[in-house]
């Protein structure tokens, strides 16, 4: 199993350009998440999805859109990139089992990250 993969690993954009970050997981997980991490800070949730065809806003959703057309994929879009969106973006997935007490229940598996610079 590849786990959670992210494409691309690095990207440099100019202000106003658009792009899409792709997250894929092969664990048949229901839940998927997009986080951003700025230098010296913890991760902040941008958007998340509790199943195919559903999305919801997280803590910092402005300037981003997401789509979950297939269960295994979760796309993060920047329509008009701004320098404030320079960050490292992490995708994660989890099984979403409520109340689980077994190891791995509700555990989130993270991808390797995408380092985005907006000039």
Q: Would you tell me which residues interact with other proteins (CB under 8 A)? A: 4, 31, 33, 35, 40-45, 48, 50, 58-59, 88, 90, 92, 94, 96, 98-101, 103-113
Closer of 17 and 109 to other proteins (Cβ)? 109
Closer of 10 and 62 to other proteins (Cβ)? 10
> In a 10 Å sphere around its CB, with 0-12 CB exposed, 13-18 middle and 19+ buried, how is residue 83 labelled?
exposed
Give the span between the Cα atoms of 85 and 94, in whole angstroms: 25
Give the span between the Cα atoms of 82 and 18, in whole angstroms: 10
SS3 assignment, position 6: strand
Shortest Å, Cβ 107 to other proteins: 4
Closer of 17 and 106 to other proteins (Cβ)? 106
Please provide residue 39's backbone torsions phi and psi, each rounded to the nearest 5 degrees: -50, 130
Shortest Å, Cβ 64 to other proteins: 16
């Amino acid at each position: 199993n590849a786990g959670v993969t992210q494409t691309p690993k690095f990207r440099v954009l100019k202000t106003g350009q658009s792009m899409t970050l792709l997250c894929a997981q092969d664990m048949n997980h229901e839940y998927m998440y997009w986080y951003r991490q700025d230098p010296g800070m913890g991760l902040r949730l941008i958007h998340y999805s509790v199943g195919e065809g559903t999305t919801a806003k997280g803590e910092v959703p402005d300037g981003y859109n997401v789509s979950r057309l297939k269960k295994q994929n979760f796309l993060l879009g920047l329509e008009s990139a701004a320098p404030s969106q320079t960050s490292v973006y992490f995708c994660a997935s989890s099984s979403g089992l409520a109340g689980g007490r077994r190891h791995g229940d509700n555990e989130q598996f993270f991808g390797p990250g995408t380092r985005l610079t907006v000039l």
